[in-house]
């Protein structure tokens, strides 16, 4: 198998390349890997590089060395190719998808990455884009759009940028009129803060939006929160939401399903694993076993997974 490390040189405020390159060279020499390093040149370059290499049919493990944006590019390049695997070397400020499998420091143990376990995970299809973690529409996507700008500032963490973005959205983007349908269910029109589709649990630098989601159960966790709060009340609830304790709010609709279709009366932000745009119509749909993801060898997730599988036999 070929091991290709895709490095975003802008990750870690420009320090990622000098930090990770010696570690990669060391582990490749240690295990005598057929190894290659590719440094991305511009936004979107990672998608094209991964896709072109995947077309060869060669068995390749791509390591996304950067933040959530780098993972987004590698996933979108790898999607549709059964001959490739995706791993993560977290060098960004958010790194939300990996939280289900371990800490950032644990992921930086490259021995565990090289010896990791490939698992087929579901992904989310939103138009021509693929998300491995989450998609959302509404106020929290507005937060995402603002967060991307704020976290470029010196000394601002991904979590801190999310809080600042929240305050901006609460002031400027508080209410959305959406019409939505989950699977073949009832079509509902309501004023909502946001609609969230979770393949995994965290986003926004540690906000546990879908606390029960698993990326291999064949279902998405849909969380919709109505606009039933005052702005002041919503600010006071942010930490509760961050802890994932919002599913029992009377304003929350929580359902599991395969697909949600959303219409907005005016253009609203859509967040696809941190990539944001503004539309009036969108859909978030599961693609079961859409990507092969490498879970680090010592991850507790693997033990928990074995337990779940044995219980379901």
How much is the pLDDT for 174? 66
* 3-state DSSP assignment of residue 64: strand
Provide the 10 A C-beta neighbour count for residue 279.
15
| Partners of 130 in the β-ladder | 125
Distance CA 13, CA 283 (A): 33
Q: Which CATH number fits the domain 131-286, given the four candidates 3.40.630.10, 3.40.50.970, 3.10.20.740, 2.60.200.40?
A: 2.60.200.40
**Cα of 32 vs its chain's centroid, Å:** 31
Question: In which residue ranges of the chain is CATH 3.40.50.10330 found?
Answer: 2-116+296-311
Locate all alpha helices (DSSP H) within the chain, ordered by sequence.
Answer: 16-30, 45-54, 68-78, 104-107, 110-114, 139-150, 158-172, 231-242, 300-311
Residue 56, both tokens: 């060869």
Architecture of the 2-116+296-311 domain: 3-Layer(aba) Sandwich (3.40)
How much is the pLDDT for 77? 98
DSSP element (H, E) containing 15: none
**Residue 226: which residues within 8 A CB-CB, separation 6 or more?**
190, 191, 192, 193, 251, 252, 253
Question: In which residue ranges of the chain is CATH 2.60.200.40 found?
Answer: 131-286
How much is the pLDDT for 172? 63
217, burial (CB in 10 Å: exposed 0-12, middle 13-18, buried 19+)? middle
**Cα of 262 vs its chain's centroid, Å:** 20
**Residue 295: which residues within 8 A CB-CB, separation 6 or more?**
101, 116, 117, 118, 119, 301, 302
Distance CA 298, CA 313 (A): 24
Q: What is the pLDDT along the chain (313 residues), one digit of tens a residue?
A: 999 999 999 887 777 888 999 999 999 999 999 999 999 999 999 999 999 999 999 999 999 999 889 999 999 999 999 999 999 999 987 789 999 999 999 999 999 999 999 999 999 999 999 999 999 999 888 877 776 666 666 656 656 666 676 777 776 666 789 999 999 999 999 999 899 999 999 998 889 999 999 999 999 999 999 988 888 888 888 899 999 999 999 999 999 999 999 999 999 989 999 898 999 999 999 999 999 999 999 999 999 999 998 887 6
How much is the pLDDT for 5? 98
Distance CA 171, CA 196 (A): 20
Residue 308, both tokens: 């779940």
Distance CA 311, CA 313 (A): 6
Q: Which residue has the tokens 């390349």?
A: 17
């Amino acid at each position: 198998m070929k091991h290709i490390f895709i490095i975003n040189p802008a990750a870690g405020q420009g320090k990622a390349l000098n930090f990770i390159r010696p570690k990669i060279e060391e582990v490749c020499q240690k295990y005598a890997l057929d190894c290659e390093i590719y440094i991305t040149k511009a936004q979107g370059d990672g998608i094209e590089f991964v896709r072109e290499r995947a077309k060869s049919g060669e068995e390749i493990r791509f390591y996304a060395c950067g933040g959530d944006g780098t993972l987004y590019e590698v996933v979108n390049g790898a999607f549709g190719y059964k001959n490739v695997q995706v791993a993560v070397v977290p060098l960004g400020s958010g790194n939300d998808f990996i939280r289900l499998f371990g800490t950032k420091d644990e992921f930086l143990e490259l021995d565990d990455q090289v010896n990791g376990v490939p698992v087929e995970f579901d992904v989310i299809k939103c138009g021509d884009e693929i998300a491995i973690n989450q998609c959302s529409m509404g106020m929290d996507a507005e937060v995402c759009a603002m967060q991307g700008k704020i976290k470029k500032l010196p000394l601002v963490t991904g979590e801190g940028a999310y809080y600042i973005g929240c305050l901006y959205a609460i002031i400027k983007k508080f209410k959305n009129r959406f019409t939505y349908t989950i699977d073949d269910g009832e079509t509902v029109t309501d004023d909502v803060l946001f609609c969230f589709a979770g393949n995994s649990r965290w986003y926004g630098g540690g906000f546990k939006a879908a606390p029960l989601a698993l990326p291999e159960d064949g279902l998405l966790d849909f969380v919709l929160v109505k606009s039933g709060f005052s702005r002041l009340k919503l600010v006071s609830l942010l930490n509760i939401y961050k802890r994932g304790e919002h599913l029992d709010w009377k304003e929350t609709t929580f359902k599991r399903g395969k697909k949600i279709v959303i219409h907005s009366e005016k253009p609203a932000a859509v967040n696809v694993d941190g990539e944001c745009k503004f539309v009036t119509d969108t859909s978030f749909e599961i693609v079961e076993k859409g990507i092969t993801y490498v879970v680090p060898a010592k991850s507790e997730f693997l033990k928990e997974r074995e337990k779940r599988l044995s219980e379901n036999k």
